[in-house]
Amino acid sequence: MNPGATNAPGTGTGHAPCHHGEILQGVFLDGSGRRCAGLVTLPIAGPGSSAVFARRPGTAPEALTVTPADRTKAARAAALTVAECARRTGRPPCGGELRLSGAIPVGLGMGSSSSDVIAAVRAVADSYGLRLAPTTVAALAVRAELASDPLMLGGHPVLFAQREGRVLEVLGPALPPLVVVGCALGGGAPVDTLTLPAADLGEDDVRAYERLRALLRRAVATGSADLLGAVATASARRGQQVLRHPEFDALVALARRVGAVGVQIAHSGAVAGVLFDPAAPELRRRIRGCLHALDAHGIPATRTFTTGTSTTATSTTGSTPAKETPHHGPAQHGPAQHGPAHRRVDRPAGPDTPRRPARLPAL
Q: Which residues contact 174 (CB under 8 A, 6 or more apart)?
A: 155, 156, 157, 220, 308, 309
Outline where the chain has alpha helix (H). 72-89, 112-127, 134-145, 203-222, 225-243, 248-257, 283-296
pLDDT value, residue 187: 76
How far, in Å, CA of 216 to CA of 220, rounded? 6
Cα separation, 51 vs 16, whole angstroms: 9
Distance CA 120, CA 50 (A): 8
The pairing of strands 312-313 and 301-307 is antiparallel
Distance CA 202, CA 231 (A): 20
Q: Which residues of the chain have pLDDT under 70?
A: 1-7, 192-199, 309-363
Q: Can you give the pTM of this predicted structure?
A: 0.82
- What's the distance, CA 33 to chain centroid? 26
SS3 303: strand
Total residues found in the chain within this entry: 363
Domains (range + CATH), the chain: 11-362 (3.30.70.890)
For position 45, what pLDDT does the model report? 86
For residue 9, the model assigns a pLDDT of 77
